[in-house]
């Protein structure tokens, strides 16, 4: 299962690689990273059909916000699950994300235990 993590903060890549190293080593998941909404859409469009099955995207990014990315993904690639990540657990962003089709909403610092549970549920569904 291939995951795409979208965040303008580059240190997120190291954090995800560290937290999911066992799952990656076991071949359960593959991680790909984009540092903007535009880059994420380029990655999705680069393969037909996209091999990404789950996206974790930050909401607050310069340029294209995570909410705009979510709407684009849900329109162009409805089969891909998207969860949103925000530094702020505000109700407005939560409601916008869920109403736009987000599967989950995580706040920073990310609770990797619940994130791993979410991924393992998806692996079991495969």
Q: What distance in Å separates the CA atoms of residue 74 and residue 95, rounded to the nearest whole number?
A: 16
Walk along the chain (126 residues) in steps of 10 and give the mean pLDDT of each run: 96 95 95 98 94 95 96 96 88 93 91 89 80
pLDDT of residue 126: 66
7 lies in which domain range? 2-125
Nearest to 19 by CA among 110, 82, 125: 110
CATH code at position 97: 3.40.50.2300
* Count of domains for the chain: 1
């Amino acid at each position: 299962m291939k995951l795409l993590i979208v965040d303008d903060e580059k240190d997120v890549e190291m954090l995800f690689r560290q937290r999911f190293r066992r799952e990656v080593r076991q071949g359960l998941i593959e991680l790909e990273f984009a540092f903007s909404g535009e880059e994420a859409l380029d990655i999705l469009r680069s393969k037909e059909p996209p091999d990404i099955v789950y996206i974790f995207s930050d909401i607050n990014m310069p340029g294209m916000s995570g909410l705009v990315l979510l709407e684009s993904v849900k329109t162009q690639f409805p089969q891909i699950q998207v969860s949103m990540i925000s530094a702020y657990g505000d109700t407005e962003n939560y409601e916008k994300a869920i109403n736009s089709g987000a599967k989950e909403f995580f706040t920073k610092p990310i609770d990797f235990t619940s994130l791993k549970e979410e991924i393992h549920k998806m692996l079991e569904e495969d």
